[in-house]
């Protein structure tokens, strides 16, 4: 709010005697409002000192104490959450070609009697950039709900291409199974969640089988299957990027890096199809939750609707949540993110993926 500024006080004659200065009429003196961003000046008739409009010492004490109280409350709140969640890492989960791949693990402090389902978080970034810390909000929120959460890094372009990133994600799933007893994980309830390019990788985990040839050599001896998939504004059919049609941001740049990601085509090898989750979708897949924004001009909305329709036709349990926003909406619209997160929790509970109540 902008306050009007009254006329400045009348200047005193420098030759005026000191006694007459002390006796100057108090009604001619104005003082600041007391708020650092306020321009309002108020008449002070009782004192010759700057004071806020609230002159009561008790009120002033409360006002001055309030910021300290807020900071204290935030510290206590953060400490309480820190006490509920234990963060571990970085943990090296695989070493393909000698390259250390790391994960951050978040677990509820209370171990509980029953094993907990795990959520594998796969960040986006066009398979080109990003870190395992990118989905920190989901790491914290899932752990608060009682899940064991693993946020991973994986090999990315330009040096690495498909299917190396898929192999890394599968190695991370197997690592969770191999360490299930150590971290109180239920090896039969692992969920893959990814956003954007990470949504593509999560869908590849949900759709592919060992015979598809993407398991890689790291962490052998256990399955890389996931029991549920959450894809957030992901890419599920890459063929459309061969000659992209319609409007979306950075269309020709996207065409270039998708071509580089899938690798060189040959007459008998359609690399776009080989890298698409839609190629491997099958009856008997675990349940799939999809979310996409109708105003997404980075990854088209119909990527999710077409995948939803395909899964539904195969008899796969699938739910799609639509938001009236664009790409990475959950980083920009906190209320929508919370609403979608609540829907994800309800979906996982519906399919037996909720943590034990202990």
Pick from 28, 48, 78: which residue ends a domain?
Answer: 78
Q: How many CB atoms lie within 10 A of CB 110?
A: 12
Domain CATH for 325: 3.40.50.1820
pLDDT at 252: 73
Distance CA(112)–CA(114), nearest Å, equals: 6
Residue 171, SS3?
A: helix
Phi, psi of 202 (to 5 degrees): -60, -40
What is the DSSP code string of 273-307? HHT-HHHH--TTPPPEEEEEETT-SSS-THHHHHH
Q: Give the up-direction half-sphere exposure of residue 150: CA atoms within 13 A in the CB hemisphere.
A: 30
Residues 187 and 324 in one domain: yes
pTM: predicted TM-score of the whole model, two decimal places: 0.77
The b/e string for 251-279 (b: 16+ C-beta within 10 A; e otherwise) is: eeebeebbbebbeeeeeeebbbebbbbbb
pLDDT at 246: 60
pLDDT at 269: 92
Within a domain: 54: yes
Residues 40 and 114 in one domain: no
Lookup: tokens for 132? 């395992």
Residues 291 and 177 in one domain: yes
Residues 182 and 162 in one domain: yes
Domain extent, residue 65, equals 18-78
Residues 281, 237: contact at Cβ < 8 Å?
no
Residue 72, SS3?
A: helix
Pick from 78, 108, 129: which residue ends a domain?
Answer: 78
Residues 146 and 181 in one domain: yes
Residues 187 and 275 in one domain: yes
pLDDT at 74: 34
Residues 108 and 41 in one domain: no
Within a domain: 8: no
Q: In what order do the strands lie in the sheet with 288-293?
A: 85-94, 101-108, 148-152, 116-122, 185-195, 228-232, 288-293, 318-323
pLDDT at 83: 60
- The per-residue pLDDT string of the chain (358 residues; one tens digit each, 9 = 90 and over) reads 333 333 334 444 434 444 433 444 444 333 333 333 333 333 333 333 333 333 344 433 333 333 443 333 333 334 344 468 999 989 999 999 999 999 999 999 887 779 999 999 999 999 999 999 999 999 999 999 999 999 999 999 989 999 999 999 999 999 999 999 999 999 999 999 999 999 999 999 999 999 999 999 999 999 999 999 999 999 999 998 888 766 555 567 778 889 999 999 888 999 999 999 999 999 999 999 999 999 998 899 999 999 999 999 999 999 999 999 999 999 999 999 999 999 999 999 999 999 998 6
Q: How many CB atoms lie within 10 A of CB 310?
A: 16
Residues 214 and 266 in one domain: yes
Pick from 30, 62, 78: which residue ends a domain?
Answer: 78
Residues 148 and 240 in one domain: yes
């Amino acid at each position: 709010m902008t306050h009007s500024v009254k006329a400045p006080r009348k200047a005193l004659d420098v030759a005026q005697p000191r006694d007459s200065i002390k006796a100057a009429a108090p009604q001619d003196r104005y003082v600041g409002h007391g708020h650092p961003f306020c321009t309002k000046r108020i008449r002070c008739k009782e004192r010759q000192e700057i004071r806020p409009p609230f002159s009561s010492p008790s009120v002033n004490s409360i006002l001055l104490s309030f910021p300290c109280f807020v900071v204290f409350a935030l510290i206590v709140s953060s400490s309480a959450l820190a006490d509920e969640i234990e963060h571990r890492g970085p943990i090296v989960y695989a070493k393909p070609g000698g390259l250390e791949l790391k994960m951050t693990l978040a677990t509820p402090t209370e171990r509980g009697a029953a094993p907990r389902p795990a959520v594998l978080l796969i960040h986006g970034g066009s398979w080109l950039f990003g870190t395992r810390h990118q989905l920190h909000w989901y790491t914290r929120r899932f752990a608060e709900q009682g899940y064991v959460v693993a946020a991973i890094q994986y090999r990315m372009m330009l040096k690495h291409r498909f299917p190396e990133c898929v192999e890394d994600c599968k190695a991370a799933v197997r690592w969770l199974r191999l360490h299930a007893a150590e971290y109180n994980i239920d090896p039969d309830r692992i969920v893959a969640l990814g956003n954007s390019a990470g949504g593509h990788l999560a869908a590849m985990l949900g759709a592919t089988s060992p015979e598809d040839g993407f398991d890689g050599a790291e962490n052998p001896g256990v399955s890389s299957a996931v029991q549920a998939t959450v894809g957030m504004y992901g890419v599920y059919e890459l063929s459309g990027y061969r000659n992209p049609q319609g409007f979306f941001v950075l269309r020709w740049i996207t065409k270039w890096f998708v071509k580089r990601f899938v690798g060189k085509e040959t007459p008998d090898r359609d690399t776009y199809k080989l890298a698409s989750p839609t190629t491997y979708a099958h009856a008997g897949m675990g349940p799939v939750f999809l979310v996409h924004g109708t105003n997404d001009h980075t990854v088209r909305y119909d990527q999710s609707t077409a995948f939803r329709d395909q899964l539904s036709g195969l008899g796969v349990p699938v739910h799609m949540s639509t938001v009236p926003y664009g790409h990475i909406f959950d980083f920009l619209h906190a209320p929508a993110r919370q609403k979608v997160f609540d829907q994800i929790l309800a979906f996982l509970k519906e399919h037996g993926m909720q943590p034990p109540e202990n």
